[in-house]
Structure 1
Amino acid sequence: MGCTSCATGANGQPKGCKNNGTCGTDGCNKLTVFDWLSNMSLPENMEPFSAVEVRFKNGRKLFFQNPENLSLSIGDIVATEASPGHDIGIVTLTGELVRVQMKKKKQPTNLEELPKIYRKATQKDIDVWQKVRDRETDMQKRSREIAMGLGLQMKISDVEFQGDGSKVIFYYTAEDRVDFRQLIKDFARTFNTRIEMKQVGFRQEAARLGGIGSCGRELCCSTWLTDFRSVNTSAARYQQLSLNPQKLAGQCGKLKCCLNYELDTYLEALETFPKTDIKLKTEKGSASCQKIDIFKGSLWYAYDKDGMNWHELKSDRVNEIIALNNKGKSVASLEEYIEETVVSQDKVFNNVVGQDSLTRFDQPKRSKNKKRRNKNRNKNKKRNTRNNA
C-alpha cells in the first residue's frame, strides 16, 4: 500500500515524496497502524492518553510520553529522548489507541517510566538527520571491509545513525556467537563516534531487504507479517509435504512462515484419522498403512506379505476395523471394506473459443505467394489448352 505521492522509480525505490519508505503520510510502510478511534470522542471526565508511538529506521518502534502536551499528529517529525543526546523519529500513532498497543506488546502503561518527547523537530534537526543518513551507505561498506579483515563470521546488514549523529547502530546477522570487541575499537577509531552493535535474526533481515517468494508474490514478512513465529519440520509432515530443504526454506534460509498458515486446519482434519502406526489384523494377515490423503479422507493399506498391492480405505472404515481389533476380533479381509467410487466421465476438452482442433498448429502455414503462383499456373494451363484446341 503506497501513499498518494509515491511511485516506483527505475531502481525499485519509491519516488515522489523521495523519502524511500519513510514518507510523512505514513502509507507505504507495513507497520502502519490505522487509528480507528480517531473519530470517537472520549467520555466525560477522562483525559486523553498522552503517550505517543514513534517509528525509526528498520521498523523500530518505541513509546514516548508527551509531558508538554504538544499537538502531535501522525506523520510529524519529533525529537525524542535518547542516550546520549536525542533521536529523530516519525509519529505513527497518538491517542487512546497507543494504550491498546502498549498492552498488546506487554509494556507498562506508566507514563513516568517512558522516555520523553522534547519538541517537534526543527529544520536544523531535520538537516542534521538527513546529513547523517546520507553517510550510512558508505559507512556500511567500510564496516564490512573491517569485519572481513578481522575474519569475523558475521554480516553487517544495515547501519542506523542516531538523529543527532552522536551514535551509530550496526545491525548484523551471525550463525554463532561473535567476539566483536576488537571490531568496536576499530569502528570507533575509524568513524570517530559512539558504536552500538545489535544482532537481528535472518527473518528480520529478509523482511527488511524484501523480495519475491516461490509463490510469485512479495514476501509476507516484507509486506504485512510483523510477528515471526517458530516453524518446525513437523508442520511439513502434518501437511504431507516432502522434506526437501530447498523447497521448504525461504530467502532467509529458514523454514517458510507460510507453513503455519494452514497447519491448524490440517491438525483438525487429522483428528478423525486413525494413527498410521496401528496395524490392521485380518484373517489374511496384518496390514500396515502406506499412505494417507487428507483431502479425500482415505488411507492406503497393504498386507505385510504382499506389500506391492495397496488397498484404499476410508478413514471411518479403518476406525471400524480398529474398534473390532481392540475387542479381539479380526476381519476377513480388507477387500470387504473397500468402497467403490464411480468416476464421472466428463469431457476433458471443451470448445470454449471455437477452436476445437488441438493440432491446428502442427501443419505449417502455406504462404500467400505460393497460392498466387498455383492460381497463375492453373490459369496459364487453361489458356494453353484453349489455344491448342
Structure 2
Amino acid sequence: MPQIIEVSFKGNRRGYYLADGQDIRANQAVVVEAERGEDLGRVTATGAIAARKCAGCVTSCAPAPPERRVLRPARREDLERAQQLRSDEPRVRRLTREKVLRHGLKMKVSEAEWQFDRNKLTIYFTAERRVDFRELVRDLARTFRTRIELKQIGVRDEAALLGGVGRCGRELCCSTWLRELQPVSLQLAKDQRLSLNPAQISGVCGRLMSCLVFEHELYVEARKKFPREGKTLATARGKERVVSVDIFRELVVLKDEEGVRRTVTLADLKQEVAQHGGSEAWRPPPASDGSRAGDGKGGTR
C-alpha cells in the first residue's frame, strides 16, 4: 500500500505525495511529480505522521489524499543539477529586479525558484497594492524561455522564505521548523507582561514575533491563581488593593488606603483573605483569549 510522504521545498513550501513500494526516509532528497514535470525536495515526514498532517492541513495542502507521486530518491546527478539551479537563482533575481524597474512596477522581488526540470520559474514578490504584471510576465518568459509564475507573498512569508536571525540569536522559527504561521495579537504580549515597545516584540518582518504564542497558554493558566490587578481585598491590614503580581515567584504587591505598599506571597495572601474576607472575596480574573484580538499583522519569527 502506498504511503504518504511530506516533502518540503525552498522557503518552507511543502506538498504531500504517494510513495509506492519505495524505501523513503526522513531528510532524504527525492524527485517528485510536479504540475508540469518534476521537482526536487526533501522528505520531512513519512507514514502515519505525514498522513495525519496531510489530512489536517488547511492552508498549504488539500485535505484529500495526494494524487502526485514520489518518482525516485534523488541521485547524485539530480543533486548536482539542483545545486546548479540554486546557483543560478541570484542571477534570475537580479535580472527580474532590473525588468521590474524598467516596467515601472511598485513591487519588491524577494526570491526566485527554479523548478527542478526548468519547466517553471517562480518569482516571489511583495507589494502594498495589486500589481498588473502581465507585461512583465511576458518579458520574463522571453528572457528565461520557460513558464513564469509570479507569486505575491506577505512580509511574514517573505521572512520565512529568506531566513535570518531573530532577537534571540537563533535562526528564525518560521524559516526552520515552524510550518504554520498563526495569527499573533498584541493581547498576547499584554497577557505575558511584556514590553509593548514594537522594537522589542517585533520580528525581522516588522510583525509581532511568532514566539509570543508559544508560552501564552502557560501564562494564562498561571495567571488564574492570582487576584485581578486593581481588585481590593480584605486582608490582615484592612482594605488593600492589588498593584501587581509576579507569577514566577508567586508574589503579590498590595497597597493599603494610606498608600503603603507591601509584597506578600500568594499562599500567605490566600490565607489572609480566607480569614478576613471570606472565600467569596477570592476570585481570580477570567482567562484572556489572546487570539480574539488578531489584527492580521501577527508575528514572525
Same fold (TM over 0.5): yes
1:298 and 2:252 matched: yes
Structure 1 residues 148 and 210: CA distance shift in structure 2, 3 A: same
| Equivalences for residues 76-95 of structure 1 within 5 A | 78-95=30-47
Which residue does 2:136 correspond to in 1? 183
Q: Matched residues in 2 for 1:291 and 1:76: separation?
A: 52
Q: Matched residues in 2 for 1:182 and 1:318: separation?
A: 75
Tell me if the contact between 2:242 and 2:252 (Cα under 8 Å) persists in the aligned partners: no
Structure 1 residues 263 and 119: CA distance shift in structure 2, 3 A: closer
Which residue does 2:261 correspond to in 1? 310
SS class of match (1:135): helix
Compute the displacement of 1:216 (Å). 3.5
Q: Matched residues in 1 for 2:81 and 2:214: separation?
A: 44
Which residue does 1:27 correspond to in 2? none
Provide TM-score, normalisation by structure 2. Answer: 0.70
Which residue does 2:112 correspond to in 1? 159
Within the candidate set 205, 215, 220, 2:173 is matched to 220
Compute the displacement of 1:257 (Å). 2.5
Structure 1 residues 322 and 172: CA distance shift in structure 2, 3 A: farther
Q: Matched residues in 1 for 2:127 and 2:57: separation?
A: 26
Tell me if the contact between 2:5 and 2:47 (Cα under 8 Å) persists in the aligned partners: yes
Q: Which structure is higher in strand share? A: 2
SS class of match (1:212): coil
SS class of match (1:258): helix
Structure 1 residues 184 and 274: CA distance shift in structure 2, 3 A: same
| Equivalences for residues 82-121 of structure 1 within 5 A | 82-105=34-57, 108=63, 110=65, 113-118=66-71
The residue identity in structure 1 corresponding to 2:123 is F
Q: Matched residues in 2 for 1:135 and 1:208: separation?
A: 17
Q: Which has the higher contact order (CA 8 A, sep 6+)?
A: 2
Compute the displacement of 1:108 (Å). 4.2
Q: Deviations over 1:7-63 (max 9, x none)?
A: xxxxxxxxxxxxxxxxxxxxxxxxxxxxxxxxxxxxxxxxx4343333332232222
Q: Matched residues in 2 for 1:232 and 1:94: separation?
A: 34
Tell me if the contact between 1:274 and 1:319 (Cα under 8 Å) persists in the aligned partners: no
Higher Cα Rg, which structure: 1
SS class of match (1:52): strand
Q: Matched residues in 1 for 2:229 and 2:49: separation?
A: 49
Compute the displacement of 1:298 (Å). 0.5
Number of equivalences:
273
Structure 1 residues 94 and 246: CA distance shift in structure 2, 3 A: closer
Which residue does 1:268 correspond to in 2? 221
Specify every segment of 5 or more residues in structure 1 that has no aligned partner in the other structure, as ranges. Answer: 1-47, 328-389
Tell me if the contact between 1:129 and 1:165 (Cα under 8 Å) persists in the aligned partners: no
The residue identity in structure 1 corresponding to 2:33 is E
Compute the displacement of 1:245 (Å). 0.8
SS class of match (1:134): helix
Q: Percent identity?
A: 37
Which residue does 2:297 correspond to in 1? none
